[in-house]
Amino acid sequence: MENIQSKEEQGRVSDAPSGHWVYRTLSRSMWPYAQLARWDRPIGWWLLMWPCWWSTALAASAHAQPGAPLAEVMPSLWHLLLFAAGAIAMRGAGCTYNDIADQDIDEKVARTRSRPLPAGKVTRKQAWAFLLLQCLVGLAVLLQFNSFAIAVGIASLVTVAVYPFMKRFTNWPQLFLGFAFSWGALMGWAAHFGSLELAPVLLYLGSILWVIGYDTIYAHQDKEDDALVGVHSTARLFGDRTKQWLIGLYGGALLLFAVAFAKAEVPMPALAGLLAAGVHMARQIRVLDIDDPDQCLKLFKSNSVVGWLIFLGLLGGGVWAAISPQF
pLDDT tens for residues 12-24? 565 566 567 788 8
Transcribe 8-23 into DSSP letters.
TTTT--TTSPTT-HHH
120 pLDDT higher than 80? yes
How far is Cα 282 from Cα 290, in angstroms, rounded to an integer?
15
How far is Cα 113 from Cα 53, in angstroms, rounded to an integer?
34
Please write the tens of the pLDDT for every residue from 257-267. 999 999 999 99
How far is Cα 84 from Cα 46, in angstroms, rounded to an integer?
8
4 pLDDT higher than 90? no
The more confident residue out of 159 and 112 is: 159
Average pLDDT over residues 39-45: 92
Please write the tens of the pLDDT for every residue from 200-252. 999 999 999 999 999 999 999 888 877 877 889 999 999 999 999 999 999 99
pTM of the predicted model as reported, rounded to 2 decimal places: 0.91
111 pLDDT higher than 80? no
Whole-number pLDDT of residue 325: 77
Count CB atoms within 10 A of the CB of residue 67: 12
Which residues, at least 6 apart from 286, have a Cβ–Cβ distance to it below 8 Å? none
The CATH architecture one would assign to domain 22-323 is Orthogonal Bundle (1.10)
C-alpha closest to that of 292 among 241, 238, 224, 213: 224
Transcribe 274-298 into DSSP letters.
HHHHHHHHHHHHHH--TT-HHHHHH
Whole-number pLDDT of residue 188: 98
Average pLDDT over residues 23-39: 89
Q: What percent of the chain has pLDDT over 90?
A: 72
How far is Cα 296 from Cα 261, in angstroms, rounded to an integer?
30
How far is Cα 115 from Cα 36, in angstroms, rounded to an integer?
8
**Distances from the Cα of 124 to the Cα of 29, 101, 131, 319, angstroms:** 16, 10, 10, 50
pLDDT band with cut points at 50, 70 and 90 for residue 179: very high
How far is Cα 206 from Cα 182, in angstroms, rounded to an integer?
9
Transcribe 196-257 into DSSP letters.
--HHHHHHHHHHHHHHHHHHHHHHTTSHHHHHHHT---HHHHHGGGHHHHHHHHHHHHHHHH
Which of 99-113, 155-169, 180-194 is predicted with the least confidence, judged by mean pLDDT?
A: 99-113
Indicate the domain borders of the chain.
22-323
How far is Cα 105 from Cα 172, in angstroms, rounded to an integer?
17
C-alpha closest to that of 318 among 4, 118, 58, 140: 58
User: Which value, to the nearest 10 degrees, does the dihedral of the CA atoms of residues 265, 179, 243, 108 take?
Assistant: 160
Whole-number pLDDT of residue 106: 79
Backbone angle region of 230, left / alpha / beta, with phi > 0 → left and psi within -120 to 50 → alpha: left
Whole-number pLDDT of residue 113: 81
- Gyration radius (Cα) of the chain, Å: 20
Please write the tens of the pLDDT for every residue from 126-169. 999 999 999 999 999 999 999 999 999 999 999 999 988 898 88
199 pLDDT higher than 60? yes
How far is Cα 239 from Cα 63, in angstroms, rounded to an integer?
43
**Distances from the Cα of 71 to the Cα of 59, 191, 261, 269, 278, angstroms:** 13, 17, 20, 18, 29
The more confident residue out of 280 and 120 is: 280
Average pLDDT over residues 68-78: 92
How far is Cα 260 from Cα 210, in angstroms, rounded to an integer?
15
